[in-house]
């Protein structure tokens, strides 16, 4: 399908009127939950329940069809059984509805008969200007504007706070779990889109739209496979967009059996993973290895600047984590270089002889918050490193949660990315909160912190600012 203007996607996030086809007055039913969520969260447009069985849903007049609704309808959310959907789409087109979200399943993912239903829908919307997300999806969630077609109540899926990470996903269940986890971790999200079988709107359309979204700084994609003929458009879109915003891709269907599973899930043609991976890398996308990695990388890319080189200083008060951090960084192609004699001498001006100052810089468990300040100020302002990984374990008596303020102050204005590793409860939780509030991402293992720095270096290479 030829690319259409990204303005046609706006209707899914900012409709002035919404018809919910398959609305229900029964609590717990999908048609009830979607109407309820729109009434509670979306304050910028009217909501019209549609179902010939009922006269009223949640205190609103319920219409027999979309065409009976007085006045224009911008968006329709469709929840009726699959065989009824083509007729509903025809009604929407006659009404002049500009966007349709088909939540219903039972289409190409189930076999040939379902595929025929999809083809009927394509024929109906062809040349009309009506855009369709789905079928077999959960639709859209806009954390800034309040648009929410996700049929999962708050007690099942917490909504994250408004933020600047956008997530688009073929899998609605995976997306729901990701958002629930993000909410639990306090990670902000701008928009989330589940597009399912993508008979019309796909990754390319959403990428182009989010590229111009002022509320989005990082775009995350979970993709199982691309539609035939859309591979080149997808890679070209990524190549254009990464110059302005990082694009993180999590690929499903990487193995032969995974590709088969993808086909039965969202009718996706997964294709060759190695070819896809090589094309992604050339285009400048950053590939995540799992769901947690997605948020680790996205958090770093939203909070810290890209690295201008691959040289990393490790600042620690524990020898073991310092060694593990070095291993993790070097295994990713980053370097932990030996500091110059001059820089080591500057560090030793205030350190006892048993502190290690070569890199990692280890102030040991007998050190203090102020030792960290000296180490970071000397190293971060030198021209010998491009980034810092700070191991912030505050269990020894000389350290406290105030170390977070010291790390933030000592690295301010350097222009170099900083990530921290810290784990534990009690006062450590305070430290983590203070660090992230100051814009320094924190990870519970040095391996995850190293991956975050790798992403910042990789993005620096994409932008052409890294050596």
* Each residue's pLDDT tens digit, 278-307: 999 999 999 999 999 999 999 999 999 999
Q: What is the mean pLDDT of residues 385-399?
A: 96
Residues 200 and 156 in one domain: yes
What count of other Cβ atoms lies within 10 Å of the Cβ of residue 70? 8
Arithmetic mean of pLDDT, 246-269? 64
Q: Verify that 252 and 298 share a domain, yes or no.
A: yes
Q: What's the mean pLDDT in 96-108?
A: 96
Share of the chain above pLDDT 70, in %: 95
Give mean pLDDT, residues 17-40.
Answer: 96
Q: Looking at the predicted structure, is the pLDDT value of residue 13 above 50?
A: yes
State the residue range of the domain holding 73: 1-135
Q: What is the CATH number of the domain that holds 389?
A: 3.40.50.261
Average pLDDT, the chain: 93
Decide if 333 contacts 342 (C-beta within 8 A): no
Q: Looking at the 3D structure of the chain, how many domains does it have? A: 3
Indicate whether 151 and 197 sit together in one domain. yes
State whether 167 and 255 are in the same domain.
yes
Check: CB of residue 131 under 8 Å from CB of residue 4: yes
Q: Is the dihedral of CA 449, 451, 457, 463 positive or negative?
A: negative
Q: 329 pLDDT exceeds 70?
A: yes
Whether 263 shows a pLDDT value over 50: the answer reads no
- φ/ψ (deg, to 5) at 48: -120, 110
Stretch 98-113: mean pLDDT: 96
Residues 85, 69: Cα–Cα separation, whole Å: 18
Q: What digits encode the pLDDT tens for the residues 203-217?
A: 999 999 999 999 999
Q: Are residues 373 and 278 in the same domain?
A: no
pLDDT, one tens digit per residue, over 403-454 is: 999 999 999 999 999 999 999 889 999 999 999 999 999 999 999 999 999 9
Alpha helices in 381-417 (DSSP H): 403-411
Closest by alpha carbon to 236, among 282, 287, 288?
A: 282
Q: How far apart are CA 279 and CA 10, in angstroms?
A: 29
Write the burial class of residue 442 (CB in 10 Å: 0-12 exposed, 13-18 middle, 19+ buried): buried
> Among the three residues 244, 272, 303, which one is the final residue of a domain in this structure?
303
CATH of the domain at 37: 3.40.50.720
Residues 90 and 153 both lie in one domain: no
- Is pLDDT at 1 greater than 90 in this prediction? no
C-alpha to C-alpha distance for 396 and 348, rounded to whole angstroms:
22
Same domain, 142 and 281: yes
Within this chain, do residues 146 and 197 fall inside the same structural domain, yes or no?
Answer: yes
Tokens 């406290």 locate to 400
Q: How many whole angstroms separate alpha carbon 175 and alpha carbon 168?
A: 8
pLDDT at 221: 97
Is residue 122 domain-shared with residue 147, that is, in the same domain?
Answer: no
Q: Is the pLDDT of residue 258 over 50?
A: no
The confidence band for 220, taking pLDDT boundaries of 50, 70 and 90, is: very high
Instruction: Please determine, for residue 260, whether its predicted confidence score (pLDDT) is greater than 70.
Output: no
Domain boundary at 259, 274, 303, which?
303
Token digits of residue 227? 């539609």
Predicted local distance difference test score (pLDDT) of residue 270 = 46
Q: With 60 as the cut, is the pLDDT of residue 25 above it? A: yes
If asked whether residues 154 and 275 sit together in one domain, one would say yes
How far the first Cα of the chain sits from its last, in Å, is: 40
Can you count the helices (H) and strands (E) in the chain? Answer: 15, 18
Distance in angstroms (rounded) separating the CA atoms of residues 13 and 99? 10
Which of these three, 135, 155, 179, is where a domain ends?
135
Whether residues 234 and 247 share a domain: the answer is: yes
Mean pLDDT of the region 379-394: 97
Examine the domain organization and report whether 128 and 157 are in the same domain. Answer: no
């Amino acid at each position: 399908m030829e690319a259409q203007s990204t303005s046609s996607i706006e209707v899914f996030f900012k409709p002035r009127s919404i018809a919910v086809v398959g609305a229900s007055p029964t609590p717990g039913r999908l048609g009830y939950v979607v109407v309820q969520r729109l009434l509670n969260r979306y304050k910028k447009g009217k909501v019209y329940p549609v179902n010939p069985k009922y006269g009223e849903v949640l205190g609103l007049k319920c219409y027999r069809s979309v065409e009976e609704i007085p006045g224009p309808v911008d968006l329709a959310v469709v929840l009726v059984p699959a065989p009824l959907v083509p007729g509903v789409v025809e009604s929407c087109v006659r009404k002049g509805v500009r966007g349709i979200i088909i939540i219903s399943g039972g289409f190409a993912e189930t076999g040939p008969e379902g595929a025929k239903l999809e083809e009927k829908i394509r024929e109906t919307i062809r040349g009309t200007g009506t855009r369709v997300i789905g079928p077999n999806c959960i639709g859209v969630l806009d954390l800034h504007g309040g648009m929410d077609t996700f049929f999962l109540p708050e007690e099942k899926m917490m909504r994250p706070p408004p933020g600047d990470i956008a997530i688009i996903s073929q899998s609605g269940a995976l997306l729901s779990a990701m958002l629930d986890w993000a909410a639990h971790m306090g990670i902000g999200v701008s928009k989330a889109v589940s597009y399912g079988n993508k008979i019309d709107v796909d990754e390319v359309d959403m990428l182009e739209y989010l590229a111009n979204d002022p509320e989005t700084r990082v775009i995350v994609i979970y993709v199982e496979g691309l539609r035939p003929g859309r591979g080149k458009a997808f890679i070209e879109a990524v190549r254009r967009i990464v110059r302005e915003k990082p694009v993180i891709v999590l690929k499903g269907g990487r193995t032969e059996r995974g590709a088969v599973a993808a086909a039965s899930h969202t009718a996706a043609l997964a294709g060759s993973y190695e070819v896809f991976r090589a094309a992604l890398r050339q285009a400048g996308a950053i590939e995540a290895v799992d769901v947690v990695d997605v948020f680790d990388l996205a958090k770093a890319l939203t909070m810290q600047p890209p690295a201008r080189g691959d040289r990393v200083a490790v600042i620690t008060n524990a020898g073991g984590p310092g060694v593990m951090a070095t291993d993790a960084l070097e295994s990713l192609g980053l370097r932990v270089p030996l500091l110059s004699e001059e820089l080591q001498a500057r560090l030793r001006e205030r350190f006892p002889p048993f502190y290690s100052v070569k890199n990692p810089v280890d102030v040991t468990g007998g050190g203090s918050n102020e030792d960290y300040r000296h180490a970071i100020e000397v190293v971060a302002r030198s021209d010998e490193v491009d980034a810092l990984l700070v191991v912030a374990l505050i269990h020894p008596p000389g350290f406290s949660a105030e170390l977070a303020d010291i790390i933030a102050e000592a690295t301010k204005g350097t222009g170099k990315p900083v990530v921290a590793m810290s784990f534990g409860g009690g006062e450590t939780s305070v430290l983590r909160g203070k660090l992230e509030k100051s814009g320094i991402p924190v990870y519970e293992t040095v391996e995850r912190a190293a991956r975050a720095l790798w992403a910042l270096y990789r993005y620096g290479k994409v932008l052409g600012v890294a050596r």
